[in-house]
Structure 1
Amino acid sequence: MRIIGIDPGLTRCGIGIIDADGPRHVSYVDVVVARSQADMAPHKRLEIIADAIDTMIGKHNPDVMAVERMFAEDNVRSIISTAQVAGVAMLAASRSNLPLALHSPSEVKAAVTGDGRAEKKAVQFMVQRILRLSELPRPADAADALALAITHAWRGGAMSPTAQSAQHGGAALPNPTTPGLTSAQRAWAEAERSTRLSGVVAAQSAAKRFR
């Protein structure tokens, strides 16, 4: 399976491609970082990123796309622009008839490092190690895009039935105590559970404010 990972950002958007031969065997294919200038009109910036994503899809013919799933942050301006880029990526997936997966930042960190709160440098180091690269993938956006693709490869083949149900719209949350999970898989389950629960709490708080 060939996976394209998208780390959405308006100034820098990471676009990484890997091949996955089973859940724990992945190899590097390509990575680029699409860049746009802050003084450009927003729709022109989005066009640059959309073109870069389309180019990578056309060049490498991926089987599935993985995009970072976003949650509300303190920096409203940043989350809005990031959401716009994520929308562009999702549209590209739809136009290319690619299945789409969304993975939270904490899930990605847990999948590649075993720690849902890992620093970006740790993610870069582990991506380099997992993909057997000669040097750290730079900038961090490149590493994050590859990490998203790796997460999708590993999650798809090594999830518990409970986690698989959650991925496909089931009500159950991933269970970190499921027997047989590796330490990294347990860390992912804990990170995913925490992220999803925090999203529910945020939604409930927002609903109360508008009652």
Structure 2
Amino acid sequence: MRILGIDPGLQTTGFGVIDAQGGELNYVASGTITTTHLHKGDLPSRLKVLFDGIGEVRQRYQPAVAAVEIVFVNVNPQATLLLGQARGACITALVACDLAVAEYTALQMKRAVAGHGQAAKAQVQEMVKRLLRLPGLPGKDAADALGLAITHAHAGLTMQKLAAAGGERRTSAMYKAGRSY
């Protein structure tokens, strides 16, 4: 299963693509989509860059599913609203291509990748490097996106086992056909 991880941000959105076969994880690609070349006040143009960029990544790598980080509430409400809009542009680009989207918090991703929810960015980078057998550290945003893909690979395997055992359950962080369940 090919998984696309997305770490949304208005200035820099990270993406990471992995292939998961059982417990085996293989790196495919990672990078960032940036809007720093645009004026900070031009929100619609920045959102379009994110939307188009996610669409290009999806078209190029053909993932079966995507995992996106859930926005947390910042001290600055304006920053939270802007991040939410960036995240919305990313999710819209994914579901516009009929791609299933799973959501995970940063805490869930850090637990899955580094073993504890308080892991620093550098720890996440190092663990992603080790888990995917990369020759060097990925960038911070790309590492978070790869971490989300890894998290889904582990959670997806568990969900498949539950479904096979007849105990499938819906999670509150999945989107399909315009519904959240």
**Which category describes the TM-score, using the shorter chain as reference length?**
0.7 to 0.9
Matches within 5 A, 1:104-119: 104-119=105-120
- Alignment correspondent of 2:179: none
- Alignment correspondent of 2:155: 155
Matches within 5 A, 1:157-196: 157-158=157-158, 165=169, 168-169=171-172
Matches within 5 A, 1:191-210: none
TM-score, structure 2 length as denominator? 0.85
Gapped regions of structure 1 (runs ≥ 5) = 171-211
Question: Percent identity at matched positions?
Answer: 39
Give the aligned residue type for 2:52.
D
Q: Work out the CA distance in 1 between the residues paired with 2:144 and 2:91.
A: 17
Q: Work out the CA distance in 1 between the residues paired with 2:172 and 2:47.
A: 30
Larger radius of gyration: 1
Q: Work out the CA distance in 2 between the residues paired with 1:155 and 1:87.
A: 23
Number of residues paired by the alignment? 166
Gapped regions of structure 2 (runs ≥ 5) = 163-167, 174-181
TM-score, structure 1 length as denominator? 0.74
Give the aligned residue type for 2:96.
R
Q: Work out the CA distance in 2 between the residues paired with 1:116 and 1:149.
A: 16
Greater RCO, CA 8 A, separation 6+: 2
Let me know the Cα RMSD of the aligned residues: 2.0
Give the aligned residue type for 1:103.
Y
Give the aligned residue type for 1:17.
V
Give the aligned residue type for 2:77.
V
Matches within 5 A, 1:1-211: 1-22=1-22, 24-37=23-36, 39-40=39-40, 41-138=42-139, 140-158=140-158, 165=169, 168-169=171-172
More strand, by proportion? 2
